[in-house]
Chains A and B, each alone.
Chain A
């Protein structure tokens, strides 16, 4: 569904991505792990072109998002179908919880207020926050904010969900409530790509684990292959450092 070909990203002299070629298939749950600064988040952000790749291609459902020649497609139209959840939630602070969720369906998809409201309420129920619908984000805990952010992305009924370290900014006691929501989503068949430092979680929910190091996919495979039988020294070293 979502494919990258020889993806490169350079910031000034720093080459963050050094050629990533992969494909994310419908229904897959891909966990991206790796050391800080390895390019995992940059890779994820290239998938919906929040970062413009320096070289290479991103192809979503046979639509090439990176060709400069054929710019007659509408990137915003594509982004509707790619949901994204950020490390720092990025809820709109001037809108209530339900307004946060209703905004894009109304403005982008052209839903009526009633339709958007019904859909938002349903999603809030799903993430267990219907009682918070009329409060502003600053009244929510980190975990609650992230659940709202997930609901907001889901309201666009995306074909794939991208999670950029969704629990890294949370207090430890709030990590689980967010992971449970993501797990439900993944189990329901949503195509998911998640950058995470929660190794246990990656092991549990991923259908494929991708270890990115120094801008390339060093190795990938099933959780069992990568976690229990890593082939590369760097991967072993990484696990030695993060797992105890």
Chain B
């Protein structure tokens, strides 16, 4: 038939290392993002619980802006918007393109941090108020109450949601391919360039994403079940 192509995956065989390299980039990019996002989210949670109003406001504005705007826009603002104002993120130790990677990591981490802040907030709120009351009535101070009573219980709701955030981020990082970073999504562009095959790389990339997220979903399920059996 004219104008159609038959699928031929054997054309992809010579390029399998490219897919692997792309997948590795996707995984480490996600890991760095979620780890940095967890730190940012933790700080934002503390800020939101602060007694000083302006600190609350800063944290609230941060989460509202991030959650209310598209992640692609946030990426472009950090990668292109800020440099146009003269705020340039330098290459690290002269590694080529590392400045672009760093920009993406900053944008994605800030994005992830806002969602993780909400995860922490929900986790803390899920602990019954009576728990803190019981602890305080026994003479524990507010720090001991948080560390010994509230946090261990909040972790239970937080951990599965954090893994879920990891799953979301695996998919979200595909946006960096629009900035020319070599994640697994970007593999499509370079393979299409050399083979003129369009559809096969898409399918393989889809399978890679699905494999990654499935593994994480499995881990998440394990954690959740473990948490539920542990009293």
Whether B134 and A156, one on each chain, are in contact in the complex, defined by CB atoms closer than 8 angstroms, is: no
Whether A80 and B139, one on each chain, are in contact in the complex, defined by CB atoms closer than 8 angstroms, is: yes
Measured in the bound complex, the distance between the Cα atoms of B140 and A79 in whole Å is 9
Q: Which residue of A lies closest to B144 (CB)?
A: A107
Measured in the bound complex, the distance between the Cα atoms of B134 and A156 in whole Å is 13
- Name the residue in A77, A91, A107 with the highest tally of chain B Cβ atoms < 10 Å from its Cβ: A107
How does the 8 Å CB contact mask read for B131-168 relative to A, with 1 for contact and 0 for none?
A: 10111111111001000110011000000000000000
Answer yes or no: A55 CB below 8 A from chain B CBs: no
SS class, residues of chain B in contact with chain A: helix
Tell me whether A84 and B137 are in contact in the complex, defined as CB-CB below 8 angstroms, given that A92-B149, A94-B153, A107-B144 are known contacts.
Answer: yes
**Chain B residue contacts of A152, Cβ below 8 A:** 138
Whether A137 and B231, one on each chain, are in contact in the complex, defined by CB atoms closer than 8 angstroms, is: yes
* Residue of B128, B137, B140, B153 touching A50 (CB-CB under 8 A): B137
Q: Which residue of B lies closest to A81 (CB)?
A: B139
Whether A79 and B231, one on each chain, are in contact in the complex, defined by CB atoms closer than 8 angstroms, is: no
Q: Which residue of A lies closest to B141 (CB)?
A: A76
Interface residues on B, range: 10 to 19
Whether B153 and A93, one on each chain, are in contact in the complex, defined by CB atoms closer than 8 angstroms, is: yes
Tell me whether A79 and B152 are in contact in the complex, defined as CB-CB below 8 angstroms, given that A90-B128, A92-B131, A107-B144 are known contacts.
Answer: no
> Top 8 nearest A-B pairs by Cβ distance?
A136-B231, A80-B139, A90-B134, A104-B138, A90-B130, A84-B137, A108-B139, A79-B139
A contacts, CB < 8 Å to B: 48, 50, 76-77, 79-80, 82-84, 86, 88, 90-94, 103-104, 107-109, 136-138, 149, 152-153, 156
B contacts, CB < 8 Å to A: 128, 130-131, 133-141, 144, 148-149, 152-153, 230-231
